[in-house]
Amino acid sequence: MLERFRQFWTNVWSPLADLLLRLGVKPDHVTIVGTLGVSAGALWFFPRGQFFVGVMVVTAFVFSDLMDGYMARKSGQSSKWGAFLDSTLDRVGDAAVFGGLLLYYTRTDAESTLGPAELYLGLSLACLVLGSLTSYARARAESLGMQAKGGIAERADRLVAILVMTGFSGLLDLPVLREVTLWALALASLVTVFQRMAIVHRQAVQQPGLDV
């Protein structure tokens, strides 16, 4: 759903990306710094319950995911290594976001309104695992010559939803916003896994000789 806004934000950040290219910064450098920033922001601020500040820090680095691709295309530095690095480090950043929430719910004073904190610890873990599984399903399908893109909760949807609602939960002191989002994302991610399995199954049936 949110992939349609990618070009808009790419246009917004392209002047900064052009400046970095003129300064000799490589796309891979942006990818690595962006992941470090996202991970540090999520793993430092979220466990301390500083959700609004954490989201602001994470968001500042999330846009590197758009800039590195633009820089690679603009400079002619696109490569399989760059694509692999970007995809791999995306998983690291996503895991840090949900890992930060998981660590928060291990605290004895963690705030939760719709159930015990242990429940949301489990939901944070579920979102982390299922998010990685949706990405794995797509990558594995593509390695077999098929495609498994799609589903109700793609990566961009999951990331924007959790960051926006976590930020507002901190700003407005309404943990219920974060809790409802964790429930929704855990369910949506599970559905997405099955959707991608169904997409691959349909293709596999049409290719009976495929060695999986």
Burial of 206 (0-12, 13-18, 19+ CB in 10 A): exposed
d(CA 67, CA 185): 26
Place of tokens 């891979």: 28
Out of 28, 86, 90, 94, pick the active-site residue.
90
Q: Known catalytic residue: 18?
A: no
Long-range contacts of 187-192 (CB under 8 A, 24+ apart): 188/152, 188/153, 188/157, 188/158, 189/126, 189/127, 189/130, 189/131, 189/133, 189/134, 189/153, 189/158, 190/126, 190/130, 191/151, 191/152, 191/153, 192/130, 192/134, 192/151, 192/152, 192/153, 192/154
Calculate helix-pair angle for 51-62, 27-45, nearest 10 degrees. Answer: 170
**Catalytic positions, written as ranges:** 90
